[in-house]
Amino acid sequence: MNAVGVDLKKLRAPALLLVLLLLLIALPHARPGYAVVLVYTILMYIVLTVSWVLFSAPTGYVSLAPAAFFGVGIYTSAILGMKLPLPVVICIGGLASAFLALLVGALTLRLKGIYFAIFTFGLVELIKHFVLWYELKYTGTRGRFLLPVGNNTIYYVMLAILVALLLTTYFIKRSKYGLALQSIGEDEEAAAHTGINVTLLKIITFAISAVFTGAAGAIWAIRLTYIDPYIAFDVNNSFMPVLMAIFGGLGQLYGPILGAVVFSFLREVLITRFPYYYMLLIGTILLVSILYLPNGLVGLIQRWRRRIWGGQHANT
């Protein structure tokens, strides 16, 4: 009896996720139109946030490079979109971003703390202006157009990227590499003494996180239909994942996901309802949440749980 109870408890989370996945798969059939657009926007932010968390949360290296990887994905799609089938374009977008991450990682992952953050931020600006210069000088046009595809296609591709990302994150977290990444964040020198190849592990994880950001960019480009360097390398795409992850809470994997869902939904609602005040409102929400929710939404949920179930869960 007891054994069955334990087994059921273990199965609860995967079962819940499976139901959620089926609902997401069914959504475009049940409610086509705006709902699909809204949900794939949210999915895109989840991808950005979780891939940021994959590298930056355990290691403590705050990366502001997501916009660079996202933009590389966008441009891959803009250049190859009409020549190659969509899945191939998405894969190349991811790989191109990973390649950039390997290069940047090898150069800069020796930088500590704030220096790494500033360098990655500079990278976004650098690539943006390089692309702008290239386009004006060699193609003579500032932007590019993409052939639109159906909303449902964008939706399913984004969902597939997210599922692949979540599986990857889950397996890394469960393996010894997940623990090793955390030990790098806690004491990098001690981590090296335990036999971890810290440089290699950091670079590879950075690249893995870039794969998904780039892939998301490649499909997002098609939704945008017109892009130029300012749209593709928008620095907001670097800050949003950080904000969403902190808003959700970094301790558990579901924190950043929850943060991305709530925050991007909020953003969407505020943009449509209060187009002039939306940045003001977003800023206020952020300030309040940092002041009163130091551990993000996860911290809030844990506090509620404790109140409902009493002191027995105090340690979780």
Partner 1 sequence: MLEIRDLCTFYGKVQALWNVSLQINEAEIVALVGSNGAGKTTLLNTISGLLRPASGHVFFLGQQIDGLPPHAVVELGISHVPEGGRVFPEMTVRENLEMGAYPYQAWQHRGETLEQVYQMFPRLKEREKQLARTLSGGERQMLAIGRCLMSRPKLCLFDEPSYGLAPLLVAEIFRIIQGLRDQGITVFLIEQNVRRALEIADRAYVLENGRICMEGPCAELLESDHVRKAYLGL
- In the set 17, 103, 190, 279, which binds partner 1 (CB under 8 A)? 190
- CA distances in angstroms from 126 to 69, 118, 195, 278, 280, listed in the order given: 13, 12, 36, 29, 29
Helix, strand, or coil (residue 61): coil
Residue type, 62: V
The answer to whether the beta carbons of residues 219 and 154 sit under 8 Å apart is: yes
**Euclidean distance between CA atoms 201 and 18, whole angstroms:** 31
The verdict on 195 binding partner 1 (CB under 8 A) reads yes
Interface size with partner 1, residues (CB under 8 A): 18
DSSP assignment letter at 65: -
The verdict on 295 binding partner 1 (CB under 8 A) reads no
Polymer length in residues for the chain: 316
Window contacting partner 1 (CB under 8 A); options: 125-133, 163-171, 189-197, 231-239: 189-197
Beta bridge partners of 145: 226
The verdict on 56 binding partner 1 (CB under 8 A) reads no
φ, ψ dihedrals at 144, nearest 5°: -135, 150
- In the set 146, 158, 198, 243, which binds partner 1 (CB under 8 A)? 198
The verdict on 312 binding partner 1 (CB under 8 A) reads no
| Cβ distance to partner 1 smaller for residue 42 or 201 | 201
- In the set 110, 136, 167, 187, which binds partner 1 (CB under 8 A)? 187
Window contacting partner 1 (CB under 8 A); options: 109-117, 118-126, 176-184, 261-269: 176-184
**Euclidean distance between CA atoms 292 and 286, whole angstroms:** 10
The verdict on 280 binding partner 1 (CB under 8 A) reads no
| Cβ distance to partner 1 smaller for residue 140 or 189 | 189
> Where does this chain bind partner 1 (CB under 8 A)?
176, 179-180, 182-183, 186-187, 189-199
